[in-house]
Structure 1
Amino acid sequence: MKGLSSLERIVLECLGKKSLSFEEIYSQSGLHENVCFNILQALIIRGVLSTSGQTYQINQNISPLMMEEINGIEAKQAESLELIEAVLEQKENRVFRFQKVAMDARDEKIFLAMLSNLDSFLQDAHKKAQNEVAVKDRKVVFWGVGEVHSLMNQVVAGR
């Protein structure tokens, strides 16, 4: 089994630990009706979802191997790349900044502290609002930092 696409993950995020009807998943996800239906059917076939009457829920008997394929590092990297590409291709309300920055050791420590504060803020904000904000209305936020020489060596190794 391959990992999940970001669209499949959106459906799983809608469900969480709940059972929802098709209409609730469709409304929460913001997916087109036929796309939502096809994703639900694919997840059922793969054994990730089960149904009970008119509701869908995450299968509680997913094997550890399948869980690793769904939530492992490679799956999360693939989802991140898919979402970053979507942000870069976004036409409206696009906010993306990227730059190479020279920092001395002091500024790097300040920057890393700021990233830690941002991470705490985002975790708290999510925890506070996750039950009130539909999955389709949530924000995708990403950041990262790397040293130019390490990144360039990685680029060379990847080719």
Structure 2
Amino acid sequence: MSDPLTHFNDQNRAKMVDVTAKQVTARTATATGTIRMQPATLDRIHAGTMKKGDVLAVAQVAGIMAAKQTSNLIPMCHLIPLTGIDIHFTDNNQDTITATATVKTKHVTGVEIETLLAVQTTLLTIYDMCKAIDRGMVIDNVHLVEKDGGKSGHFQFGEAPESQA
């Protein structure tokens, strides 16, 4: 095999990849995902009448906290000093909220997992805050939108692999 597995040691046991020799570079990753709900649920979020409080404010803080805890939850992720985390919401004024997170660092490894975890946790928090009135919500289409920095360079969702550096 020309591409050796990087997360196994010489005994074929899991290991965290050694990134000691990698270059420190600015790295950014953006991910997005949606949560679909009943129209009445979105109306109550807009009106600020959910019993647990401001749904989007709590979800935003939860997503930020999650990104900072990634290495505690995902076994092979490195502990990375994050330099910025931003979460935005849009909705279709009907039944869907989209959360988009951007995470930044200046370090030797990227922040793709941190931004994906931020989005997932943000959406799960929306579910938690609204489940008393709508247990049928669906979290969907969570994916990396873009990443930049590091040896692998730039990635843009939907671009053909050969056009990515």
Q: Do the two structures share a fold, i.e. TM-score over 0.5? A: no
Structure with the larger strand share: 2
Q: Which has the higher contact order (CA 8 A, sep 6+)?
A: 2
Larger Rg: 1
TM-score (norm 2): 0.26
TM-score (norm 1): 0.27
